[in-house]
Amino acid sequence: MTYLFSNVTYNRAAAYALRQAVFVEERGIPANVEFDNKDDDERLYLVAYETPDLPVATLRLEPQLHHVMRFGRVCTRQDHRGQGIGQQLLTRAELWAQNHGYTSGLIHGELTAQTFYERCGYAVTAGPYDEDGAPVVVMEKHF
């Protein structure tokens, strides 16, 4: 597995394709909700590639105030779930954030993913509430 932190065009395209498949097609989130104004040319994405032409997981890095990094739009291809790829992806993102001066991670996770994030060391700090048509909880982890 290769992991790439980048905003280059092909890495953004890989992240968008994964999100289209998981959130729009599989989960039924409208495309105009899934792809928002945070998806600009400067945004960094972490993408896990099984091979150079097969992206399998992604997340969006969203710097917040007070040395907090929000990890957004976290997803793994359906046929690659349950293999630990999502946890490896998140761990790499946390290490990257730490190395860049961030002291905690923030996730607005759907209730269906709460247990996954808890296994990754995140704790619920707010919610649940509706975000983009899905019930979510706010979760944090200090590095």
The whole-angstrom distance between residue 1's C-alpha and the CA centroid of its chain comes to 17
Q: Which of 79, 78, 17, 22 is nearest to 47 (CA)?
A: 17
Over the chain (143 residues), what is each successive 10-residue block's mean pLDDT?
96 98 93 94 97 97 97 96 96 98 96 95 95 89 96
**Residue 131: per-residue pLDDT:** 84
**Residue 43: per-residue pLDDT:** 96
**Residue 134: per-residue pLDDT:** 81
**Residue 110: per-residue pLDDT:** 92
Residue 133 Rama label (left phi>0; alpha psi -120 to 50; beta) = left
Domains of the chain, residue spans: 2-142
**Residue 132: per-residue pLDDT:** 75
CATH of segment(s) 2-142: 3.40.630.30
Three-state DSSP at 33 gives: helix
Residues 140/105, Cβ–Cβ less than 8 Å: yes
